[in-house]
Amino acid sequence: MAWIQVVHEEQAQGRLREFYDKVVENRGKVANIFKVHSLNPDAMKAHMDLYLTIMYGSSGLSRAQREMIAVAVSAANECEYCIVHHSAALSRYVRDGAFVKQLSLDYTNAPLSSKDRVMLGYAVKLTKNMTDVGEEDVQNLRDAGFADEEILSITLVVSYFNFVNRIVEGLGVKLEQEGGGGYKY
């Protein structure tokens, strides 16, 4: 499951049990990315709260756009765990397996709107070359039609997935047997 000790659901007690139950209520089941936090339930709760706020909270970005960013960032970081999970999530919104597959391989060859192409270009640039990002990149997003609130949302999603990709890769979090399926997206 991971390279560190993990408390599984059937062994959880107290606050950890409460948090696991909350994750099941919100997501349908507990993904390994949350189980890896089991030694620090407060971090698990904070992570879940951040995830729900960024991915499901009020935003000018659609759920599909947020999941496209998740897939593109995870692909740029070669994080198979998150590519699988968020490709499954994206499939719920776009219902085009070929598109999702291409996005996970190389977003530049995916059939994207010009607006979404600019969004993903920014997302990948911020992921791979963050010190090269400048005010002109934000202006490019504005020129593509994004409002500042949406630019903030894009940046939060990009940053969140860079954070999560590093937890997965840094702790050896393994993909669940059923992959990215069976979750509430």
| Class of residue 159 by CB neighbours under 10 A (exposed 0-12, middle 13-18, buried 19+) | middle
Domain definitions of the chain by residue range? 9-56, 63-165
Q: Which helix (H) or strand (E) holds 21?
A: helix 14-27
Q: Which fold has domain 63-165?
A: AhpD-like (1.20.1290)
Is pLDDT above 70 for 6?
yes
- Which pLDDT score is estimated for 177? 85
pLDDT tens per residue, range 74-87: 999 999 999 999 99
Distance (Å) of CA 93 to CA 47, 86, 128: 23, 11, 26
Is pLDDT above 80 for 144?
yes
The string of DSSP codes covering 103-165 is HHH-GGGS---HHHHHHHHHHHHHHH-GGG--HHHHHHHHHTT--HHHHHHHHHHHHHHHHHH
In sign, the C-alpha dihedral spanning 33, 154, 22, 43 is positive
Taking the C-alpha atoms of residue 128 and residue 10, their distance in angstroms, rounded to an integer, is 39
In sign, the C-alpha dihedral spanning 51, 57, 151, 110 is positive
- Which pLDDT score is estimated for 185? 65
Out of 26-30, 62-66, 100-104, 166-170, which region has the weakest mean confidence (pLDDT)? 26-30
